[in-house]
Amino acid sequence: MNGEPDLLVGGTWSHASDGGTREIINPADGSVAATVDEATADDARRAVSAARTTFDAGTWPATPVAERSALLARIVDLLERDKEALARVETLDTGKTLVESRIDIDDIISVFRFYSQLVGVEADRLIDVGDPTVISRVVREPIGVCVLIAPWNYPLLQMSWKIAPALAAGCTMVAKPSEVTPLSTIAFVRLAEEAGVPDGVLNLVQGSGAVLGAALTDNPDVDFISFTGGLATGRTIAKVAAEHVTKVAVELGGKNPHIVFADADWESSVDQVLTGVFLHSGQVCSAGTRLIVEDSIADDFVAELANRAEKIRVGNGLDPASETGPLVSEQHRAKVEAFVELGISEGAKLVAGGTRPSDPALASGSFYRPTIFDRCDRSMRIVAEETFGPILTVERFETEADAIRLGNDTEYGLAAGVRTSDAARGERVVRALRHGTVWLNDFGYYTAAAEWGGFKKSGNGRELGPTGLAEYQEIKHIWHNTAPKPAGWFKGD
So which residues are the catalytic ones? 251, 285
Shortest CA distance to 205 belongs to which of 4, 36, 79, 23? 36
E-strand spans in 28-72? 32-37
What are the φ/ψ torsions at residue 384 (nearest 5 degrees)?
Answer: -85, -30
How far is the C-alpha of 414 from the C-alpha of 388, rounded, in Å? Answer: 14
DSSP sequence for 309-373: HTT--B--TTSTT-SB---S-HHHHHHHHHHHHHHHHTT-EEEE--S----GGGTTS-----EEE
How far is the C-alpha of 131 from the C-alpha of 228, rounded, in Å? Answer: 46
Contact assessment for residue 202 and residue 171, using Cβ atoms and an 8 Å cutoff: no
Shortest CA distance to 367 belongs to which of 254, 273, 278, 271? 278
Helix (H) or strand (E) holding 308: helix 295-309
How far is the C-alpha of 353 from the C-alpha of 386, rounded, in Å? Answer: 18
Strands 257-260 and 290-294: parallel
The torsion defined by the Cα of 103, 109, 115 and 121, in degrees rounded to 10, comes to: -120
How far is the C-alpha of 234 from the C-alpha of 471, rounded, in Å? Answer: 17
How far is the C-alpha of 454 from the C-alpha of 438, rounded, in Å? Answer: 11
The torsion defined by the Cα of 400, 406, 410 and 415, in degrees rounded to 10, comes to: -50
How far is the C-alpha of 487 from the C-alpha of 451, rounded, in Å? Answer: 45
Residue 63's CB is within 10 A of a number of other CB atoms, namely: 15
